[in-house]
Amino acid sequence: MPEVPRFGWRVLLASTALAAIAAAATYVVLDDGGEGGADATVTPTIELGPDVEVDPDAVAFTDFDDQQVALASLRGGPVVVNFFASTCAPCVTEMPAFEEVHRELGDEVTFLGLAVQDRRDAALELVERTGVTYRTAQDRDGAVFTALEGILLPTTVLLDADGAVVDRHAGALDADELRAWLADELGVGA
């Protein structure tokens, strides 16, 4: 049996002192310098919400035939933009639910699935594997995702007929949640 090295009291004392110094230095670096110290109320500097003004003319996605398509081209009716990636397990789980609702609602709402910074072949394989028939394309550089203030995948954004953001949801949705959300926010399928 190999011998396990034992540390003397000096090594333990020195490592404990270094850990205490590192903790104090971290506190000093992260402290905002205010009088409240660690108990001070932190106010978030980023506000997310549906009141975001997005210029749909400023962003475009790339279809799988390598053609640029302006997001603004979808104006005229409500739009569901679902951001996904082939490496995102919750995305894979929700895509069949989106397809189910898409088939039920038909022309009441436009569905668009955008593969965010994903490989073309991997995104196409996922679309095929999940049975998605609604329009899918690529957001190669994440410009649309950023413009619509996506945070994590999957993110779904609802746009009104004028291209304005109505609401957004981060995380997976099942078919019932999606139906209820679309009815509440866009008045479709109700």
Count of helix runs (H) and strand runs (E) in the chain: 5, 7
**What is this structure's pTM?**
0.72
From the centroid of its chain, how far is CA 150?
4
Handedness of CA 182, 186, 188, 190 (dihedral sign): positive
pLDDT value of residue 48? 43
Structure tokens at 42: 């932190």
Percent helix, strand, coil in the chain (nearest 5)?
A: 40, 20, 40
Cα–Cα dist 158/181, whole Å: 9
Q: How far is CA 53 from CA 70, 147, 152, 162, 163, in A?
A: 16, 9, 20, 11, 9
Contact 149, 48 (CB under 8 A): yes
Residues 6+ apart with CB under 8 A from 6: none
Q: What is the pLDDT along the chain (190 residues), one digit of tens a residue?
A: 666 556 565 655 555 655 666 665 555 445 544 444 444 433 333 334 455 555 656 899 999 999 999 999 999 999 999 999 999 999 999 999 999 999 999 999 999 999 999 999 999 999 999 999 999 999 999 999 999 999 899 999 999 999 999 999 999 999 999 999 999 999 998 6
Superfamily of domain 56-186: Glutaredoxin (3.40.30.10)
Count of alpha carbons within 13 Å of 148, Cβ hemisphere only?
35
